[in-house]
Amino acid sequence: MKKILSNFKGTKNELIPILQKTQKKFGYISRRRLAQVATFLNITESTVYSVVTFYSQFYLTRQGKHKIRVCQGTACHVRGGAGIMQIVKNKIGIEPGETSPDYMFSLERVACLGSCALAPVMMVNDSVHGAMNRAKVDALIKELGKISGKSKSSGKKTSQRKTAGKKSPSARKAGK
């Protein structure tokens, strides 16, 4: 964190860039790092917190290795998006807004992935997958399982608070 902060002067308009670099390096912005940013910029922790929770790009809890976003927007909804979400939930064993206990998967519900013509759509990490059906979900999760060494999570889940974000995909988390 010190290394990140050393690249900045400490002016308030550096808040977003600092948070972006922190998010990129650590995968999330812990409470401790949030406090460090506040101290560095001489602003309140609540100010930093409000920014972190406003933008969907920031997370307050550790995320899974594979981030799965299932679109529930209108186009996807009318073409079976809810069913796709259910299949994914059953396959990885967590609910939207949760991260598996082994930190292999995080699942999010999103409003639109910008690929409505391919509905129903889901996104895995940076890849968009369209015209999803049960077989394609099965194959995709199976492939992720091979990558991760397992295909289904079990045990205690990490819950995250979800609220509307400024941009889609919208998901914000409260946590450590």
**Given the rule CB under 6 A, which residues bind ligand FES?**
71, 73-76, 112-116, 119, 121
Q: Least distance from C-beta 122 to ligand FES, angstroms?
A: 9
Neighbours of 22 (CB within 10 A): 22
- Which lies closer to ligand FES via its Cβ, residue 71 or residue 137? 71
Q: Least distance from C-beta 117 to ligand FES, angstroms?
A: 8
Q: Least distance from C-beta 113 to ligand FES, angstroms?
A: 4
Cα distance between residue 105 and residue 138, in whole Å: 15
- Which lies closer to ligand FES via its Cβ, residue 104 or residue 119? 119
Is 26:33 a contact under the CB 8 Å cutoff?
yes
- Which lies closer to ligand FES via its Cβ, residue 29 or residue 76? 76
Q: How many CA atoms lie within 13 A of 7 on its CB side?
A: 11
Q: Least distance from C-beta 48 to ligand FES, angstroms?
A: 32
Cα distance between residue 141 and residue 150, in whole Å: 9
- Which lies closer to ligand FES via its Cβ, residue 5 or residue 70? 70
Residue nearest ligand FES by beta-carbon distance: 73
- Which lies closer to ligand FES via its Cβ, residue 19 or residue 84? 84
Residue 174 host element (H or E): none
Bridge partners, 129 (sequence order): 122
Across the chain, the runs of DSSP E, i.e. the strands, are: 66-71, 98-99, 105-110, 122-124, 127-129, 158-159
Q: Least distance from C-beta 80 to ligand FES, angstroms?
A: 11
How would you classify residue 128: left for phi > 0, otherwise alpha for psi between -120 and 50, otherwise beta?
beta
